[in-house]
Amino acid sequence: MGTGASKEGEEGGANKPDGQDDTPDGQGHASAHHDGGQLYVSLKMDKNHTLTADLVPHVFGSVPLIGSWDPSKALSMERESVSMWELSFVVPPNHETLDFKFLLKPKYSNAPCFVEEGPSRQLIGGALKEDAKLALFRLENDEVLEYKVFVKADRVSPFDLAASWRAYQENFRPSSVRWMPDVSINSAPQPGGENCSSAGLDLDLEHYVVPAPSTSANSAFVYAANMTETPRSLTSGSYSFKDGGASADRPTTIKEMEVIVPDSSKAFPTSGMVESKSVGSYSPLQRQESQRGLFVDRGVGSPRLIKSSSSNIFTHDLNLDNDTKNSMPAAAGAVAAAAVADQMLGPKEDRHLAIILVGLPARGKTFTAAKLTRYLRWLGHNTKHFNVGKYRRLKHGANQSADFFAADNPEGVEARNEVAALAFEDMVSWMHEGGQVGIFDATNSNKRRRNMLMKLAEGRCKIIFLETICNDVNIIERNIRLKIQQSPDYAEEPDFQAGLQDFKNRLANYEKVYEPVEEGSYIKMIDMVSGHGGQIQVNNISGYLPGRIVFFLVNTHLTPRPILLTRHGESQDNVRGRIGGDAALSEAGELYKKKLANFVGKRLKSERAASIWTSTLQRTILTASPIVGFPKIQWRALDEINAGVCDGMTYEEIKKNMPEEYESRKKDKLRYRYPRGESYLDVIQRLEPVIIELERQRAPVVVISHQAVLRALYAYFADRPLQEIPHIEVPLHTIIEIQMGVTGVQEKRYKLMD
């Protein structure tokens, strides 16, 4: 690793902040002899005073990429700061010599453009042939404009380029730290260099392991079906039930945190301070409190309330019926906008969506259902996973043999249809109490069963079949073995081989009568385990939520890899107790960045394709700076929650100077939006592309970000409810390792220093 190459113009004094030369030969010359990868070339022009006459710097030159010397096809540079202009492009390391010149083009007219004086420049192997020289432009009135020119080239793999392009489209903004390109790779450590020696990190990483909290991400250890909805139609004292003694219900915190939607048809009196009030996600406690006044709520994702002129009573300005208000997601931004649009325009049954899994046993249905549930909940959609197996075990016991599942066993067929119908009815009842998306998890493997479900859904909810198909016998064999280990069906079978044989017989019974989905709206996931080579087929899919679901599924796979989450090293603002800002690191933060680099170097020693993601704020970029050998990518979406007018204040100052804001945030930290800033719900919305990209990545990723952002990311992996997110503990100087695997996610924590 360590293939970074850079060359900077001398006249510009374009030294790296740390004064280091990270070119491979240490002489400041880019080398063209590297294996694979592409050169990410960044041309910059700096002028000390702003341009007159609206002239925009451009580049044109000898190859089609830069216009083949045709000024009309010259590439425009982008403004990076008041005086700095930048243009990046990608070329192969052994690219042909590139002759080019800068030119100034008027922004709005066809008036003449001004080509720089002197001979053309030459770029070879990402470096300028001669030392960079000033770019001089002689204007019509003989005025001469002078620019400093810098060139920088970094090697990146095609994979990282693709990632950075996606990120660029969605989130990039120019770097806020000078001389940090949006994508960069530091060179490999020099023997005896600072990175190798410093900070005294023990070789044994296990030495730093600390216990994860009880609510940690550990779905890998729990069979996903056990975590599904408790069959309410089969249980009276609903939530105390334990499935077959071998299961664990969802943690009670989830029940406590469940979305309870206030009845917005009852307008409530307030005592004056209310700006707006909205439908959303509340705990019963918060609801009571919110009615007492002193509540500034900039929450989004909800119809606004308007104050009646005659009294201090608030009413909705959207005339939504009972059913509508109940299915409004507790979300911000796009999710909320789509929900409002669907509810205003769509048929009533479309407000509830049932995703009906289809597939042979051991094809990943329950796994996929659980993952989709987690994703939709995190986005703010009220989603529940109904597993028919759980109903079957409760009604008929957990130890049914393969014969129970035979198509020529009428009692078995009847019993299975009955529990499927019960689960479906429970799901629809829940939807009418406010549930938005029900994930209905069973084999549903023939047309007859699916017809039954379609009839049950008629006029009540929209349905989409989600079929999981796997043609890889090795993966099926692995899945079957996992099933015997995990499923409560075999918990009391002491003989593994006997269990295996029984499950294979069960599978054969299903195979005899299996009919792939051809009806209705459907999504087929075919061989999607590894993340490459598989395909998704869709039929008759439209609408916001189904579209999002398809996009999510396209990007998920099961390749095991770690995701390391860490906050930046302690910042100077952290020391002063100031929120937000863009401060550099404190002394402790400086130490952490070295320890982190050491840790990453060891933990990801053999992971050549790993990448480091930071925010665009300097405390994360600086924390990443000593990490070498991996591409670093800056995401604006990873920036800390925007504290708006409170940015730079201490919590004490906010409490003193803006008591209403302080109180409001305390009451509903999830939905509270800082004036001219963001709420946690806003942060979740902007993190969605990050989650998708983390799901899509097949190599390890180190995410160096901030407290609020990491709370939101962590909640996704640990499946924590929205209401908990603003209160999740994400300590400084600690790495949370999320291991993505074939059975789910697993968490490990390393505390590198206090």
Ligand X SMILES: O=P(O)(O)OC[C@H]1O[C@@](CO)(OP(=O)(O)O)[C@@H](O)[C@@H]1O
Question: Would you call 640 a catalytic residue per the annotation?
Answer: yes
**Phi first, then psi: what are they for 597, rounded to 5°?**
-60, -40
Number of H helices, E strands in the chain: 20, 27
DSSP-derived secondary structure letter, 362: T
Residue with Cβ nearer ligand X (195 or 707)? 707
Residue with Cβ nearer ligand ADP (477 or 519)? 477
Specify which residues 703 forms β-bridges with. Answer: 565, 613
Helix or strand (DSSP H, E) at 367? helix 365-379
Question: Would you call 470 a catalytic residue per the annotation?
Answer: yes
Least distance between ligand X and beta carbon 207 (Å)? 25
Per-residue buried b or exposed e for 590-616, using 16+ beta carbons within 10 Å of the residue's own CB? bbbbbbbbbbbbebbeebebbbbbbbb
Residue with Cβ nearer ligand X (22 or 639)? 639
Classify the C-alpha dihedral 299-300-303-307 as positive or negative. positive
Identified binder of ligand ADP from the candidate list 90, 188, 456, 482, rule CB under 6 A: 482
Annotated binding site for substrate: 567-574, 619
**If you search the block for the tokens 């829940």, which residue do you land on?**
430
Q: Which amino acid is at 461?
A: C
Taking residues 256 to 275 in sequence order and writing x for each that binds ligand ADP by CB under 6 A, - otherwise, the string is --------------------
Rounded Cα–Cα distance for residues 707 and 736 (Å): 12
The residue number whose beta carbon is nearest to ligand ADP equals 364
Q: Is 435 in the site for ligand X (CB under 6 A)?
A: no
Rounded Cα–Cα distance for residues 750 and 389 (Å): 38
Give me the catalytic one of 568, 719, 733, 747: 568
Identified binder of ligand ADP from the candidate list 479, 509, 521, 685, rule CB under 6 A: 479
Taking residues 723 to 752 in sequence order and writing x for each that binds ligand ADP by CB under 6 A, - otherwise, the string is -------------------xx---------
Give me the catalytic one of 640, 661, 688, 747: 640
Question: Would you call 668 a catalytic residue per the annotation?
Answer: no
**Residues 579-618 close enough to bind ligand X by CB under 6 A:** 579-580
Torsion angle in degrees (nearest 10) through CA of 91, 94, 99, 104: 20
Rounded Cα–Cα distance for residues 433 and 429 (Å): 6
Rounded Cα–Cα distance for residues 209 and 211 (Å): 7
Question: Would you call 170 a catalytic residue per the annotation?
Answer: no
Q: What region, left, alpha or beta, does residue 293 occupy, with left being phi > 0 and alpha being psi -120 to 50 degrees? A: left
Rounded Cα–Cα distance for residues 550 and 590 (Å): 43
726 binds, among ligand ADP, ligand X, none (CB under 5 to 8 A by kind): ligand X
**If you search the block for the tokens 């986005």, which residue do you land on?**
379
Least distance between ligand ADP and beta carbon 229 (Å)? 15
Residue with Cβ nearer ligand X (185 or 585)? 585
Least distance between ligand X and beta carbon 647 (Å)? 8
Contact between residue 179 and residue 626 where contact means Cβ atoms under 8 Å apart: no
Helix or strand (DSSP H, E) at 370? helix 365-379
Q: How many residues bind ligand X (CB under 6 A)?
A: 12
Taking residues 457 to 476 in sequence order and writing x for each that binds ligand ADP by CB under 6 A, - otherwise, the string is -----------x-x----x-
Rounded Cα–Cα distance for residues 87 and 153 (Å): 12
Least distance between ligand ADP and beta carbon 477 (Å)? 11
Stretch that binds ligand X, among 97-105, 404-412, 500-508, 638-646 (CB under 6 A): 638-646
**Residues 520-559 close enough to bind ligand ADP by CB under 6 A:** 525, 528-529, 558
Let me know if 214 is exposed, middle or buried by CB neighbors in 10 A (0-12, 13-18, 19+).
Answer: exposed
Stretch that binds ligand ADP, among 116-124, 155-163, 296-304, 361-369 (CB under 6 A): 361-369
Least distance between ligand ADP and beta carbon 235 (Å)? 22
707 binds, among ligand ADP, ligand X, none (CB under 5 to 8 A by kind): ligand X
Taking residues 45 to 84 in sequence order and writing x for each that binds ligand ADP by CB under 6 A, - otherwise, the string is ----------------------------------------
Query: What are the DSSP calls for 558-612, one per residue?
Result: ---EEEEEEEPSPBHHHHHTB-S----B-HHHHHHHHHHHHHHHHHTTT-TT-EE
User: Strands 78-79, 84-91: parallel, antiparallel or unpaired by DSSP?
Assistant: antiparallel
Residue with Cβ nearer ligand ADP (482 or 513)? 482
**If you search the block for the tokens 């039929």, which residue do you land on?**
539
Classify 526 as helix, strand or coil: strand
Q: Which amino acid is at 460?
A: R
Classify 22 as helix, strand or coil: coil
Identified binder of ligand X from the candidate list 439, 463, 641, 694, rule CB under 6 A: 641
**Phi first, then psi: what are they for 668, rounded to 5°?**
-145, 75
Residue with Cβ nearer ligand ADP (161 or 482)? 482
Give me the catalytic one of 86, 441, 489, 719: 441
Identified binder of ligand X from the candidate list 368, 445, 509, 571, rule CB under 6 A: 571
Residue with Cβ nearer ligand ADP (367 or 375)? 367
Q: Is 126 in the site for ligand X (CB under 6 A)?
A: no
Least distance between ligand X and beta carbon 726 (Å)? 5
What is the contact surface with ligand ADP in residues (CB under 6 A)?
359, 361-368, 468, 470, 475, 479, 482-483, 525, 528-529, 558, 742-743
Active site positions, annotated: 441, 470, 568, 640
What is the contact surface with ligand X in residues (CB under 6 A)?
567, 571, 574, 579-580, 640-641, 643, 706-708, 726
